[in-house]
Structure formats: structure tokens, C-alpha cells
Amino acid sequence: MPADATICVAVLGTGFGLSHHAQAWGDAGGARVVAICSARPGRGQEVARSMPGVEGFDDWQRMLDEARPDVLVIASQPDVHAEPAIAALGMGIHVLCEKPLTGDLDDAIRVEKAAHESTALFVMDFEFRFSEIRQAVRDAIVGDSLGGLRSLVWTVRYPSYERLAAQPHGWLWEESHGGGIARAIGSHLLDSLFWFAPFAWTTGGMRWSSIAERDGTPSAADDAFSVNGSEPGGAGFTVSLTPTHGAFASELTIVGSQATLVMDEARGIARIHRGPDDTEIVYEGSPSGPGTPGDDLRPRLARLVDRFLGAVRGRSFEDLPGIENGMRVQEALETVKYTHHTQDTDTSPLTDGTAMKSETK
């Protein structure tokens, strides 16, 4: 593709796809959104009327056939990611896919195969790795500031209990549609952690519902989770999140053989500790997370889109998340048991997936 060619983009999804992806690609230099699609009949055409030069669809295959975009952005619910991704890759169309990769591991394996067989680029939308503080943490690790990594503990308190309890029951709260907070938010945490520590992790954990029901409908997907892992060299990790009534907190402690790094996203600071009186600040900036000035994910998404466009034009980026990153997170999520909320104490917990190794290289 010529370096100065305009890249035409089609967006599948009129929720996050419309509110964030369409804007990010519309703002990117050298790109133009030409089509948008919704599974709801008439919705794609409705939103397209307010987007000059954009055609609306309610059938993604027809959109690919008629609009012939260079890039397809998939921002629909996870259990319907696989078919449009596979079709686009087969047509040589580059794909940016929202997380998680798919609703289950079988579909993820099918997408992985299609990505490996295609000449097109496949990128996961793990935009949180492009926050400034996480980039600084990664640089410190790559620069060998910590020595050999031994322990990673990430604890997140999300101030969302009341908001989640008040939400209507939709696909996000259906396990069968790939819903749940472990997939929605935990996928970002796991991607960043595996990026920080690219080991051959064996993973497991637990997911549960702290909010029993919404509008009288029992929750059928998690809103809290804890994921843990170990690797043959002896390192271990734990990532946990729970909705709370208090303020946002996200603290990651990485212990190395020579130093310890503490990242506090709610305060916007990351420090390396080598001793009681030996501390180095590796990042100090705006706090990020719900309720903070850095809550807006648009700058992170813009950085990912900029790298995506560069990669389409032949440039190489070490931190651009690809199919292998999506599979790594998908495999880990498959090992995390879901304990379904029930008033019947004789009912056995539901599980999904069995333990398997997530190879990170």
C-alpha cells in the first residue's frame, strides 16, 4: 500500500464502536471511516445519517463485500467476533478486534488459524498497555532495572458497585455471550501483566458475582475475579478486581531479584525501591482510572490506532498487540472457574474450561 494512501475503515458495532473507534479512526491522519454496521436492523443506517461519507449496514458480510474496506474494526459482543474476523482476514482485510478475542477458546483457535494464514494484519485492542504509566513500567523492566522478576501482585478496587447494580441486564451479564468483568477489564490487566512478564505461565483462579441480580434477573456472568499463575522458574502472579463503594485503586507490585517496582495508577506514580533510602521515580503524571483526570481512554486508543496505521504501511512496533497476545489472554481466562450465584446451596458451581498452559514468549 502506498505510504500516502488513505486507509478506509469499516466499524462493526454501534456502541463502543461508534462512541470511540469511529472517532479515533476519523481523527487519525490518513484514515477514513467509510462504513458502520449494527446487528440491530436499521441501526447502522440510522447512525450513518449523522456521519458524512459513511454508509450504514445491518449485515457485516454485505458491508465487507460492498464497502471493501482496508481495515475492519470489530467492536461487537465477544461471542460473535469470530465469523467477521475470519471472513475479513480471508479477504485480505486488516482487523482490529475488541477484547476478549472471542467468547470461547474454540472460536479463538479458529481466528488464530485464519490470522496465521492471512497476509492481513490482526491486532487486539489492548489499548491500556499504551497508557503512559504502563509504558514507563515496561521500559523499566526491559531496561533490567529490577533484575529477574520473581513476583507480580496487582490489586484493583473498582468504584462501580452501585453503577453495576443499577445496570439493566444485557449481554455483558451473560456468560454465554462472553460477558463478565474478567473478560471486559481483566483481559486488559492480564495483557499488560503478560507484556511485563512474558513467561510460560500456568494459570488458574476464580470468578464470581458480588451483585446477585439486575432488574430481577440473576447475574449469569462475573463482576469480580482473582487470577493467579506460576512459571517453571519459580515466579508467580496474582491479579484481582472487585467492585467497591469507595474510591478507585490500582496498585501493582513487581518484585525482582535486585529491586521492587510499585505502580499506583490512582495516584499516577511508579517508583523503584532498592532499599529503605534508595527510591527512584520512573513515572509521575496524571492519575488514571475511574473518577480521575486520566479516565479518558481516547489518548490510549489514538496511540494504538497510530501504530496500527504505521504497521499497515510497513513499519514495525514491538508493543502492538497481535493474535498471540489475544490467544494468551483467552487461554488464561479459560482456566478461571466461574462460581455462579445461587440461593440453592446444593447446586454445584459452574465451571468453564480446564487448566491449560498459556505460553508467553
Who's near 137: CB < 8 A, 6+ residues apart?
A: 196, 252, 254, 261, 263, 270, 282, 283
Instruction: Tell me which residue of 258, 248, 253, 294 sits closest to 270, measured CA to CA.
Output: 253
pLDDT at 22: 95
The answer to whether 10 touches 16, Cβ cutoff 8 Å, is no
Report long-range pairs for 106-112 (Cβ below 8 Å, ≥24 apart). Answer: 107/79, 107/81, 107/82, 108/82, 108/326, 108/327, 108/330, 109/327, 110/82, 110/86, 111/81, 111/82, 111/85, 111/86, 111/323, 111/326, 112/323, 112/326, 112/327
The whole-model pTM stands at 0.92
* Percentage of residues in the chain having pLDDT higher than 90: 80
Spell out the domain ranges in the chain: 7-127, 131-294+323-359
pLDDT at 350: 36
pLDDT bin (cut points 50, 70, 90) of residue 347 is very low
For the chain, the average pLDDT equals 91
pLDDT at 341: 53
pLDDT bin (cut points 50, 70, 90) of residue 216 is confident
Rounded Cα gap, residues 337 and 349, in angstroms: 9
The answer to whether 241 touches 225, Cβ cutoff 8 Å, is yes
CATH class of 7-127: alpha beta
190-200: pLDDT as tens digits: 999 999 999 99
Write down the architecture of domain 131-294+323-359 according to CATH.
Answer: 2-Layer Sandwich (3.30)
Domains 7-127 and 131-294+323-359 share a fold: no
pLDDT surpassing 80 at residue 1: no
67-121: pLDDT as tens digits: 999 999 999 999 999 999 999 999 999 999 999 999 999 999 999 999 999 999 9
pLDDT surpassing 90 at residue 349: no
pLDDT surpassing 70 at residue 289: yes
pLDDT at 213: 84
pLDDT at 353: 34
pLDDT surpassing 90 at residue 292: no
The answer to whether 187 touches 331, Cβ cutoff 8 Å, is no
139-187: pLDDT as tens digits: 999 999 999 999 999 999 999 999 888 888 889 999 889 999 999 999 9
